[in-house]
Structure 1
Amino acid sequence: MIGRGKTGNAKFVKQMNREGILHQLRQEPRLSRAELAVKTKLSRPCVSALVEEMIHEGLIREVGTGESRGGRRPILLEYNVQAYAVVGAVFEGSELEMAVADMKGELIAQMHTRLKQPVDGESALQALEETLERLLVASGTDRGRVIGIGVGLPGITQRRSGTVSHAPSTGWMDLPVGREIEERLQLPVVLDNDVNMMTQGEFFGGAGSGVSSLVYMYVGTGIGAGIILDKQLYRGSKEASGEIGYMRIGDSPGRRKGEFGVFEKNFSVNGIHGKAKALGLEVDPETSILRQLIRLSEEGSSQAEGLLNDVYHGWASGIANTVSVLDPEMLVLSGEMVHLNEAGLNRIRELLLDWVPVMPEIRLAALRERAGLMGAVHSVLEAHSYASR
């Protein structure tokens, strides 16, 4: 028994030492074996033995020589970002976006799947499973190289427990969705709200790069917001921050538990489509409702013009309520709002100038559908990096 314990401890220590070396190379590419020994506080023979092992496995590669400090020029090493892969997936309404990325977070391949209607939890999970298989084949990625998958889901997600506590679009209510996905895909899963994923993607590599605080507002099947404060995603005490779809904006008929909120019932894509149909406007559910209303308004439809102004007023109300509380540096508009033309954007700015004490910088999202994928991939890399320390 004692001998087994020592063997187990030795394996654990070795793995920790390997992860320490890899962590240093991820943080600072092109280090020599001597520099790794200093940074990891491991002996040079230990570092050399582990490095040779990982070179043979393809985790580390030699990339030339560095400057000499009196002796032989040191051989430099770098982490092979293609050694492993990460998958990101984001659900929004009847759409599933999925991508595979390398260990630097750069997307290698991307795939889009339209979900079968009506969407429910089982059909969503089945689409996730099937799309992953097709994506891995299309990208030539071996499943054994995938370290995990980040999944963005609509509704209130409990990131630590992997539970979805409130998702009207799929019917998930207090269900352990994270565990179900892990069992089906046989992969570690990082679960989060879809808009939180999008927010992180836009913050790290899109319109929000370089600011310390922003609000990311998304209009799709529902309406939600992601909040970055002091360069950290703010989740709230029960991970329900940013659920602005429940603001009391627009007509507010009685709401039953499990239904969409008042704001999103009125001014989400589905809500606007309902208003357009009630006015007798012919609109295509497969294309941007905002673009169609703009076109109809420009063609002289007074009903489309009136609905367009109603939409701008509703969206601006939600923005005003949010930014007047949080005072962010930047507001990023996404989802259906990326189709705003200059006139629409100016109208929203005019309303906000009348309503809020301080105006943030307003930008349209730069990454669009890639934002959620970038955020999902980043969440897995962040979790993997933390676990390796």
Structure 2
Amino acid sequence: MTNKFQIGSFQLMKSMNRSLILNIIRRHEPISRSEIAKLTKLTPPTVSNLVKELLQAGIVIEQKLGESSGGRKPTLLTLNGDNFHVVGLDVGSRSIKAIITTITGKLLVKKNFPLPPEVTKEMLLNFLKEAIHTIKQSGHINVDKIIGIGVAMHGIVDIEKGESIFAPNLDLQNIPIKEVLEKEFKMAVKVENDARAMSLGELWFGHGGSYNSFVCVNAGRGIGAGIVINGKLFHGSNCISGEIGHMIIDVNGPKCSCGNFGCLQAFASGPAIAEAVKKRIKMGYSGLISELAGNDPDKVTGELVYEAAKKGDQLCTAALEQAGHYLGIGLTNLIHTLNPDKIIIGGGVSNAQDFVFDAINRTVLQKAVTKPAKNTEILISKFGDDATVMGAVALILVELFSTRTAA
């Protein structure tokens, strides 16, 4: 059954002037009506009328009185963050991570749902629906407060249709995620590539908030990038911007899943790191990693390599440092092409930052062509493994707070 509160609140927030006011409140709260009028260039009566509607809907609340400039103390406004919730999904090749947050990004519930080794389109869509139904029923969440669902999906995504065009790690094509989920849950659904979603999460909640131009690199089972230019997400003409995992680093390198040879992903992704270690074990290496894998090279994973490296396995330490070196080459290419203010790294490989981060910085320092380029700030995402799913939440917030008028 359609929840009129959810749809009505979403539509109320989305009108242009209301979105403009909400965005100002979000960025400057607590803030007075007169300050909103100055920043938005709307007339004070218009601001008062729109704020009245937002107060009546419970989207905005009044707070303590502000400082007086001679007259009556102004009442300050803030977002009623706890009154509205968002579902975020990160769809990987092995699991679906699901969270519910407030519209201010406060985490309320988080759950992981494993996926079987092989799934069909229909199975995946059913798993998505099941994950959302399950998380809605957990943690004493008031489901009437949920106003939207954001989905971060690896591979090529048609953001207008909300369709996964190609999900290489699942070997699936043309998955109608938005259509199916909106029909099931009767609320707004936004779908985006995982790396681009991650960059939105950093823009809204993380390290990217104070920068106009930056790049987020999602390094896990694949490698992708989300590019923010002048505060806006860059998609490119065919929605394949940021596919840096298929940037060719060495034409004589190993074959990539895309069919080319020597892609960055074939050197520095989680599976590539594991593959490099497997080869050495098969050639006779018998260190700690062999014990952890039960002397079965096929049981070696990127996560296991990291565990062995933390316990001092030299092969695994060297493999992670080598991956950092290749990531550094890829980031140097990004710096030379886009010249971003900063680069933020997230995803599973970023968990091994103790082993990869120094190698990344050392490589950029060696290979970037100018001193400012060498000093490009490179950070690990503040959200770690949750960077992408927080980005999925941000997809709905962008939809709510976006305006055609610059604030």
TM-score (norm 1): 0.78
Secondary structure of the residue aligned to 1:141 is coil
1:294 aligns with 2:281: no
Cα separation, 1, equivalents of 2:14 and 2:270? 51
Q: Could you tell me which of 330, 335, 347 is aligned with 1:323?
A: 335
| SS of the residue 1:179 aligns to | helix
Counterpart in 2 of 1:334? 346
SS at match of 1:161: coil
TM-superposed deviation, 1:229:
2.1
Q: CA deviation at 1:139?
A: 3.3
1:236 shift after superposition: 1.1
Look up the SS of the partner of 1:166 in the other structure. strand
Displacement of 1:215: 2.0
Which residue of the partner structure matches residue 371 of structure 1?
A: 387
Match of 1:362 among 372, 378, 386: 378
Q: Is the counterpart of residue 27 in structure 1 residue 20 in structure 2?
A: no
- Counterpart Cα distance in 1 of 2:65 and 2:327: 57
Task: Give secondary structure in 1 for the equivalent of 2:278.
Answer: helix
Letter in 2 for 1:24: I
- Return the offset for 1:32: 8.1
User: Shift of residue 189 of structure 1?
Assistant: 0.9
Q: Is the 8 A contact 2:320 2:355 kept in 1?
A: no
Cα separation, 1, equivalents of 2:353 and 2:72: 62
Equivalent residues in 2 for 1:123-202, closer than 5 Å: 123-202=123-202
Conserved 8 A contact 1:115-1:123: no
Aligned to 2:238: 238
Give 1:64 deviation, angstroms: 6.0
User: Is 1:351 aligned to residue 363 of structure 2?
Assistant: yes
1:237 is paired with a residue whose SS is coil
2:255 corresponding residue in structure 1? 253
SS at match of 1:173: strand
Give the direction of change, closer, same or farther, for the CA distance of 1:267–1:147 in structure 2 (3 Å limit): same
Q: Secondary structure at the match of 2:151?
A: strand
CA-CA distance at 1:224 after TM superposition: 0.9
Task: Give, in whole Å, the separation in 1 of the partners of 2:115 and 2:246.
Answer: 25
**Is the CA contact 1:290–1:340 (under 8 Å) kept in the aligned structure 2?**
no
Q: What are the ranges of 5 or more consecutive residues in structure 2 without an aligned counterpart?
A: 1-7, 282-288, 294-298
RMSD: 3.9
1:246 touches 1:260 (CA, 8 Å); kept in 2? Answer: no
Report deviation, 1:379.
1.8
C-alpha offsets along residues 134-187 of structure 1, whole Å, 9 cap, x if unaligned?
222223334333221111000011212212222112233244332223223332
Q: Distance in 2 between matches of 1:109 and 1:77?
A: 27
1:18 is displaced (CA, Å) by: 9.0
Counterpart AA for 2:227: I
Identity of aligned residues (%): 25
Separation (CA, whole Å) in 2 of partners of 1:15 and 1:332? 34
Q: 1:311 pairs with 323, 326, 335, which one?
A: 323
Tell me if the contact between 2:270 and 2:302 (Cα under 8 Å) persists in the aligned partners: no
Give the secondary-structure state (helix, strand or coil) at the position aligned to 1:373. Answer: helix
In 1, Cα distance between equivalents of 2:267 and 2:118 = 21
Give the 3-state SS of the residue equivalent to 2:226 in structure 1. strand
TM normalised by structure 2 equals: 0.75
Deviation, structure 1 residue 244: 1.1
Q: Secondary structure at the match of 1:314?
A: helix
Larger C-alpha radius of gyration, 1 or 2?
1
- Paired residue type of 2:169: S
Q: Judging changes above 3 Å, is the alpha-carbon distance between structure 1 residues 74 and 18 closer, same or farther for their aligned structure 2 residues?
A: farther
**How far does the alpha carbon of each residue in 1:8-65 deviate from its partner, in whole angstroms, 9 at most, with x for none?**
xxx9xx9699985686366336788999999866979x949x94x8766645555566
SS class of match (1:139): coil
After alignment, is 281-290 or 316-325 more displaced? 281-290
**Which one-letter code corresponds to 1:385 in the other structure?**
F
Structure 1: tracts of 5 or more residues without a match: 1-10
Partner of residue 85, structure 1 = 85
Contact 2:34–2:44 (Cα < 8 Å) also in 1: no
Whole-Å Cα distance in 2 between the matches of residues 305 and 241 of structure 1?
32
1:272 aligns with 2:273: yes
